[in-house]
């Protein structure tokens, strides 16, 4: 193994809970609601799948079906898809949907898994190249910088910058080229069997982790280090 490609959401980082996300948006707008109302709205937003990186929609409205399938191919598609889901839930102010969308891109909305920095540091020390390949509609680099992980990442391959999303082999080819390595020299680490598993079609080894809350997954990434032996 000469290089490792990591997914972002659910692999190296986890987004805040839907309730925390909603509370941050309400605070930004100076809106106060009863605790029961906050919990009710958070539950509806979670069921709608309105928080990028959070729970998947329980049901995608038919009018958003095609958009949802292509949501990570551009920033505009991503915004439209998630605002479309969010607007299925009536909120106290109409512009709160936009506030919430902006909030999910803030570094403070994300937490790295406890072992993420350790694993990246040890791979770097061992001379193993490190890349991030993500289905996403916005620039996640500020999140890595804010949490001190950016120095340990050699290259980022983001779907919205290439108009292709995993499991499309085109995105993995760009990621491999970015590290200057052949697919057979790389390990892909992710939480999505379908999307991240697409790297196997190119010849990459693949390792999966579970998309769990940060406190419930303290050391799963350390298994990647076994590939150094």
38, 72, 153, 227 from 52: Cα distances, Å: 19, 11, 23, 31
> What does the pLDDT read at residue 156?
98
Residue 223 sits in the same domain as residue 168: yes
* Residues 7 and 37 reside in one and the same domain: no
The domain tally of the chain equals 2
Residues 10 and 30 in one domain: no
Point out the domain boundary residue: 90, 108, 126. Answer: 108
Clarify whether residues 93 and 132 are in a common domain. Answer: no
* Tokens of residue 163, six digits: 């108009």
DSSP for residue 35: H
Residue 100's pLDDT is: 98
The pLDDT score that the predictor gives to residue 227 is 86
The pLDDT score that the predictor gives to residue 157 is 98
Q: Give the pLDDT of residue 196.
A: 98
Residues 76 and 177 in one domain: no
What pLDDT is recorded for position 228?
Answer: 82
Confirm if 6 and 132 have CB atoms less than 8 A apart: yes
Angle CA 171–127–198, to nearest 5 = 25
Report the CATH number at residue 155: 3.40.50.1000
Tell me the C-alpha distance between 95 and 29, whole Å.
9
Which structural domain, as residue segments, surrounds residue 70? 15-108
pLDDT along the chain (229 residues), means of 10: 97 98 98 98 98 97 97 98 98 97 98 98 98 98 98 98 97 98 98 98 97 97 90
Is the domain of 53 the same as that of 74? yes
* Residues 46 and 136 placed together within one structural domain of the fold: no
Q: How many CB atoms are closer than 10 A to CB 111?
A: 17
> Whose CA is closest to 136, among 160, 152, 115, 162?
160
Total residue count of the chain as it appears in this document: 229
Residue 78 near residue 160 (C-beta atoms within 8 A): yes
């Amino acid at each position: 193994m000469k290089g490792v490609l990591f997914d972002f959401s659910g692999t190296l980082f986890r987004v805040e809970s839907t309730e925390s996300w909603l509370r941050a948006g309400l605070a930004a707008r100076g809106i106060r609601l009863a605790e029961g109302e906050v919990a009710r709205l958070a539950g509806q937003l979670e069921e709608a799948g309105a928080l990028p990186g959070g729970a998947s929609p329980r049901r995608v409205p038919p009018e958003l079906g095609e958009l949802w399938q292509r949501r990570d191919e551009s920033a505009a598609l991503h915004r439209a898809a998630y605002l479309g889901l969010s607007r299925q839930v009536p909120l106290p102010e109409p512009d709160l949907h936009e506030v919430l969308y902006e909030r999910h891109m803030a570094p403070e909305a994300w937490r790295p898994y406890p072992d993420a920095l350790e694993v990246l540091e040890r791979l770097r020390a061992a001379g193993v190249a490190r890349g991030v390949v993500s289905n996403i509609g916005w620039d996640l680099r500020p999140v890595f910088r804010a949490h001190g992980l950016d120095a340990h990442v050699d290259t980022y391959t983001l779907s919205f910058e290439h108009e292709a999303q995993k499991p499309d082999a085109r995105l993995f080819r760009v990621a491999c080229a970015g590290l200057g390595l052949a697919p057979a020299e790389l390990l892909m680490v992710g939480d999505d069997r379908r999307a991240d598993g697409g790297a196997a079609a190119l010849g990459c080894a693949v390792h999966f982790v579970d998309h769990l809350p940060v406190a419930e997954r303290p050391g799963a990434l350390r298994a990647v280090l076994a590939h150094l032996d």
